[in-house]
């Protein structure tokens, strides 16, 4: 499996959103409040991801045979999105995205979905607070690295 990680191209935001939403719906959705699900789907829309990239975020994509299979969006040193298609999880795609982003921005924090805490721990993040629910309804575990 030849994996390529690079910055997203302008015509790829619809596919990026599809990967994020499909992965979210596979596992993370069951841990969210109804309001959190609604908020997250807006946050993960193609337009919202692109708008953040035009402002102060960077989105990386992982591709296998020119197909986007993973997405990482980062703002400063904070991971905003990290999603890998369910059938390719635990195969190094997330690790490759984190490694690529670290070259430019030394990732430090993430508000991890409950189901992804163990994955983030493998990338060097540790919980730094209790499981909580934001005003948006999104349930998360704050995590820090380094």
pLDDT of residue 130: 94
pLDDT of residue 60: 98
pLDDT of residue 1: 66
Report angle CA 59, 12, 100 to the nearest 5 degrees: 30
Cβ(67)–Cβ(12) under 8 Å?
Answer: no
Mean pLDDT by 10-residue block, N- to C-terminus, for the chain (146 residues)? Answer: 93 97 87 92 97 97 96 97 89 94 95 94 96 95 95
Cβ(113)–Cβ(133) under 8 Å?
Answer: no
List CB contacts of 49: < 8 A, sequence separation 6 or more: 13, 16, 17, 20, 59, 73, 81
Cβ(143)–Cβ(46) under 8 Å?
Answer: no
Instruction: Say which CATH superfamily domain 3-145 falls into.
Output: Gcn5-related N-acetyltransferase (GNAT) (3.40.630.30)
pLDDT of residue 89: 81
Residue with tokens 């409040």: 33
């Amino acid at each position: 499996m030849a994996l390529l990680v690079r910055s997203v191209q302008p015509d790829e935001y619809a596919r990026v959103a599809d990967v994020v939403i499909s992965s979210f719906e596979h596992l993370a959705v069951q841990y969210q409040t109804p309001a959190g699900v609604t908020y997250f789907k807006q946050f993960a829309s193609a337009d919202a991801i692109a708008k953040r990239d035009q402002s102060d975020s960077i989105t990386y994509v992982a591709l296998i045979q020119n197909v986007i299979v993973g997405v990482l969006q980062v703002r400063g040193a904070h991971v905003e999105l990290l999603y890998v298609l369910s059938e390719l999880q635990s195969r190094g795609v997330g690790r490759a995205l984190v490694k690529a982003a670290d070259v430019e921005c030394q990732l430090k924090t993430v508000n991890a979905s409950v189901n992804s805490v163990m994955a983030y721990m493998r990338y060097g993040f540790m919980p730094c607070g209790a499981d909580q629910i934001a005003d948006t309804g999104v349930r998360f575990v704050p995590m820090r690295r380094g």
